[in-house]
Amino acid sequence: MNKTLHQIGLLAGSAITAVSLVACGGGGGGSGTGTTPTTTAGTLSVALTDAPACGFDAVNVTVNKVRVNASASASDTDAGWTDITLNPARKINLLNLTNGVLDSLGQTALPAGHYSQLRLVLDANANTVVPTGGTEQPLTTPSAIQSGIKLNNEFDVAAGQQVDLVLDFNACKSVVTQGNGRYLLKPVVKVVPTAAVGISGVVATTLLGSHVTVSAQQNGVVIGSTVPNATTGEFFLSHLATGNYDVVITADGHAAGVVGAVPVAASGSTVLSTATAPLDLPVSTMGSIAGTVTLPANATEAAYVSAKQTFAAGPTVTVKYAGADISTGAYTIANLPIAAPQYAAYSATLPLTFAAATTVLPGAGKYRVEAAGTGYTTKAIDLVDISTGNATKVDFTLTP
């Protein structure tokens, strides 16, 4: 993916039009009951993007179609569906879709009106993963999603106008281990703003062999993430809604870096660093946190465990997170820095000035560990200390 950020911006911009509807939240809302579309048509265009995956060299999904319906209650066999069909079905490596790159899934004419259902349909038998340094393995697709991944998004189509939707397929949270080297697809897909705006910058090329990840967070929740260009170190956290974000940079063998309260406007991108003054991270010894997450009997949801730190005069951020094995509940958050994170408050004047966050809470080498899952009450354990050795029995029991 040897593209400059300028080229990436052009690619993303070419996939959407100036009349796009910002699709986060439905572009007009509605009760969800659906209104009968008029006979005058507009156009729907859909593209796919991705955040980086945890521990995989490839995450391949094979897309059959995108389906839309005006009725919120329509089943997959009811009338009223309009499909964007990919013929032949397209195998897409999600890890190629970082730094704002989009893969267009096509477009279709739609009668003007309000649409309450949006589904992404995958081929049930043609999805695979490649673990880091491993070989391609099948990715089991549960029968419950074979009629289509239901996306929480409603949108309006106006006569003579085009609606552009961007689907962010979170590969990291969508692939969970299932024991004995097996992998299960638990899709986490959201509709994100179509505008290719966000936060850009450059990390030092000396970090690029260390699994660098850059994320945009709000209140410790990861909103978007990416990996830098493998040659230049450039990154682009794209398709972010307007607002302020804390940017977290991690790399194996290094302390974390945090830039607080980075603004994102409705156009352009906020620049954090340049090739002449890239973001760099000091060396750190690393540790890990491991344990099990116990869910109620017959639970089908995946659980995720996050290692967080809070600044005394700044944000709470997630340094790293990992999914629990859906069969055994086992998890490991590896390569957590023991050294204090580096912190800089955002400034439009570059380069940013970082300093070790000596007042960070719970403290260098100490983390607040949270376990969460859809439909379950989040549980937390404070002051998990890895400064003198790995923490291996950080266990949770989640309840609805």
Q: What is the CATH number of the domain that holds 220?
A: 2.60.40.1120
Do 210 and 167 belong together in one domain?
no
Whether the pLDDT of residue 165 is over 80: the answer is yes
Mean pLDDT of the 159-179 span? 89
pLDDT of residue 30: 35
Return the beta strands (E) in 255-392 as ranges: 257-264, 269-271, 286-294, 303-310, 316-323, 330-337, 342-345, 355-356, 366-373, 379-385
- What total of structural domains would you count in the chain? 2
Do 130 and 279 belong together in one domain?
no
Look at residues 192, 215, 242 and tell me which one is the last residue of a structural domain.
Answer: 192
CA distances from 90 to 52, 138, 178, 285 (A): 20, 16, 26, 42
pLDDT of residue 36: 54
Counting runs of H as helices and runs of E as strands, what totals does the chain give? 2, 30
pLDDT digits (tens, 9 = 90+) for 97-145: 888 888 999 999 999 999 999 999 999 889 999 988 889 999 988 877 8
pLDDT digits (tens, 9 = 90+) for 48-97: 888 776 778 899 999 999 999 999 999 989 999 999 999 999 999 998 88
Alpha-carbon distance of 249 to 232, in angstroms, equals: 16
Identify the domain containing residue 316 by its residue range.
Answer: 198-397
- The pLDDT-based confidence of 240 (bands split at 50, 70, 90) is very high
Q: Is the dihedral of CA 63, 69, 72, 74 positive or negative?
A: negative
Do 202 and 102 belong together in one domain?
no
Q: For the chain, percent helix, then strand, then coil, each to nearest 5? A: 5, 50, 45
Look at residues 132, 160, 192 and tell me which one is the last residue of a structural domain.
Answer: 192
Q: Is 85 left (phi over 0), alpha (psi -120 to 50) or beta?
A: beta
pLDDT digits (tens, 9 = 90+) for 207-224: 998 999 999 999 999 999
pTM of the model: 0.85
Show the tokens assigned to 280: 């760099």
Whether the pLDDT of residue 393 is over 90: the answer is yes
pLDDT digits (tens, 9 = 90+) for 251-283: 999 999 999 999 999 888 999 999 999 999 999
